[in-house]
Amino acid sequence: MVNYMNKKNAQKTGFSLMEMIVVVGILSLLIAGAFVMGFPEYNRYLIASEREYLIDTLLESRARSLTSNAVFAVKTWPNGYCIQDISNLCVVPFHNLPENISLKNQDLGTSTALYLTLEDSLKTEIIIDQNGLINGR
């Protein structure tokens, strides 16, 4: 004899469509909130890490000059920089900045300022004084 299950005896398995829609909706709201809250923090991290990398490059250039008795300098462009020797050849690979960060240098008389700007919203500066100290380092 064939035993057919009727609706009364059927066990519920899985999730209903409505439950899935509610869960997907809640997850999308949480993810959207994380993106909105996280982007300003990520931008601050991005500009700070590029600033530290530029300072490290300046310090490396100074160390190369002191240890080899040769002239090395950091040449800057709006989209990146590299360490150059006296013949204007990059002795380390050119460092490209991310597309949304620009680099500008300005002569301040007795010192030089390097400005890293993130899409005209975040800006940080590095000051190199007449003694070659980089932000006091």
Q: What is the pTM of this model?
A: 0.71
Give the Cα separation of 71 and 85 in Å (integer).
6
pLDDT of residue 34: 75
Per-residue pLDDT tens listing for the chain (137 residues)? 555 555 555 566 788 899 999 999 999 998 888 777 767 788 888 999 999 999 999 999 999 999 998 999 999 999 999 999 999 999 999 999 999 899 999 999 889 999 999 887 888 999 988 888 888 66
Which residue ranges make up each domain of the chain? 19-129
pLDDT of residue 8: 57
Cβ pair 83, 65 in contact under 8 A: no
